[in-house]
Amino acid sequence: MLVIQMLDYKPENIVHLNAEVTKACNLRCDYCFNDSGVKMPSELDLEEWKEVVDVARNYGAESALFTGGEVMARRDSPEIIGHAFERGVRTSILSNGLKLNGEYRDIIEGLERVQISLDSASPYAHDARRGEGSWKLARQAVDYVRGLDVLVEISTTISEDRLDELEGITGIAYLTGSKVLVRPMQSIGRAVERGKQDLSTDIAKKKERLEDRFGDIFVEDFARYVPVLGANHDRAVIPQGFVTVLPDGKIRGTRQNILELERAA
């Protein structure tokens, strides 16, 4: 079990905001570090999320990543994202593809990037991990967003037994003009029983071979969102200005509610 020591923390500045606007999700991925699926009863409402954006901006945030759960499972997410646009925040989303195939064109066109979760070039292998029909949803989303000339980063979660999936994912990225963001599986949330897997060396070797074929196609996690350092993740990135806000307004890894920052200022 992951034990997180909460920090008493009040930031002097926020460089980047990760906003988990809901814990609701249309999928039930077997390795979800967030254990997403059902909406939290205490989730912030629309105006409170706009205030979160305002607070982060007032503390210096220049960029934001909106996610969940599934960000588009929340009906007013486009309004929250639109408010970030209005505040001059460079804005991205992380999604499984829900509603990103013909809906919300104006919002999508304003995004800096769209991270779309895809774990295999095989519909069967992807759906076995994430849920029936999820591969088709994600692939349609990749094509739709790229058709709007918006950068797509295919976010793929790699486990020890799925390392060879990276080649097929990279091929899809190359054909669609996308990039690839590799996220090693974390032994937290629904993946806690898998145990810790140190894949850094194996992934680095695999990426090096693929870069020889596909060129500069891999990107790093600009948002420092997924807790790759386990219990120490937020302890490491919060002082750098990378703040993740949970659906109820709490800053992940701390006892602090982000809305209290503004009210105390």
- What DSSP string describes 210-263? HHHHH-S-EE--TT--S-TTGGGHHHHHGGGTEEEE-TTSBBTTBS-BHHHHHH
Q: Set out the domains of the chain in order of their start, with CATH numbers.
A: 16-264 (3.20.20.70)
145 C-beta neighbours (distance < 10 Å), count: 26
Mean pLDDT of 156-162: 80
Structure token pair of residue 36: 């997403």
Sole residue written with tokens 């058709």: 147
pTM of the model: 0.90
% pLDDT > 90, the chain: 67
pLDDT at 202: 83
Q: With 60 as the cut, is the pLDDT of residue 163 above it?
A: yes
* 233/176 Cα distance (integer angstroms): 32
Instruction: Decide: helix, strand or coil at residue 96.
Output: coil
Distance CA 53, CA 75 (A): 18
Looking at 141-145, 167-171, 196-200, 252-256, which range is the least confident one? 196-200
The region that residue 170 occupies, defined by phi over 0 for left and psi between -120 and 50 for alpha, beta otherwise, is alpha
Are the CB atoms for 94 and 225 separated by under 8 Å?
Answer: yes
Q: Is the bond preceding 189 in cis, omega lying within 30 degrees of 0?
A: no
Give tens-digit pLDDT for 26-75: 988 777 777 788 899 999 999 999 999 999 999 999 999 999 999 999 99
Which two tokens mark 144? 């739709």
Query: In terms of DSSP H, where are the helices of 92-242?
Result: 105-109, 123-130, 134-147, 165-176, 200-214, 233-237
**For residues 11 and 59, is the Cβ–Cβ distance under 8 A?**
yes
pLDDT bucket at 204, cuts 50 / 70 / 90:
confident
